[in-house]
Chain A
Amino acid sequence: EDKVVQSPLSLVVHEGDTVTLNCSYEVTNFRSLLWYKQEKKAPTFLFMLTSSGIEKKSGRLSSILDKKELFSILNITATQTGDSAIYLCAVEARGNEKLTFGTGTRLTIIP
């Protein structure tokens, strides 16, 4: 059974701090790992990672995948209050398009 574990479960930091969110996974026939940001409604897509060692970057957010260690991190630099959300990690296996989600990390940014 595919499994995704995220840590920490929750994190509270001050505005301007840098945070690192972790995601480890077990999946048969890995295809991709995805990061989402969820505020009050449905998740919004952040990154899709398929290859090890290649950093994906979007503004203050970046992410990287380690397929050997079955691990990914999501970094957010110079955090802002608008970054407060639940960050979800999900993996997709080849052969079906189903996503297995982790429990998420609830990030709170204090002004």
Chain B
Amino acid sequence: GAVVSQHPSWVICKSGTSVKIECRSLDFQATTMFWYRQFPKQSLMLMATSNEGSKATYEQGVEKDKFLINHASLTLSTLTVTSAHPEDSSFYICSALHANEQFFGPGTRLTVL
């Protein structure tokens, strides 16, 4: 139980385009989901906390207008990287909170050309 999926698993896009990443809790409902970013050889950095039915809470230094988060249902949160640039290339990982434990998705590797 407590499985989290992400889609797509990888994406390549041109600079200036927007990319949407989905995070789904498959067998439980998640009021709270988290979005992390991991650059090569670095650790996971929390970007934002996604709350179902309300606005996301962004960590310091993360632009909310660039990284749009929508948590419209109890099983789905989306992260949209708007006007992506090469420096946004990274591994994006979501997690969903269930019974006070975070369950991680498999991650999405974004490459912006």
Contacts and interface: CB of A to CB of B under 8 A. Distances in A.
Interface stretch (B12-20, B77-85, B93-101): B93-101
Most buried by B among A44, A88, A101, A102: A101
A98 B95 CA distance: 10
Interface residues of B, number: 19
A96 B46 CA distance: 13
A54 B9 CA distance: 38
Interface in B23-80: 32, 34, 41-46, 49
B100 A41 contact: no
Most buried by B among A43, A45, A103, A106: A43
A62 to B, nearest CB: 20
Given A42-B93, A102-B43, A103-B43, A97 B100 contact: yes
B34 A41 contact: no
Most buried by B among A44, A48, A99: A99
Contacts of A90: 44
Contacts of A102: 43
B44 A97 contact: no
A102 B101 CA distance: 18
A42 B107 contact: yes
Given A97-B100, A99-B44, A101-B45, 16 more contacts: A42-B104, A42-B105, A44-B104, A45-B101, A45-B103, A48-B101, A96-B49, A97-B32, A97-B97, A98-B34, A99-B34, A99-B46, A101-B43, A101-B44, A103-B42, A104-B43
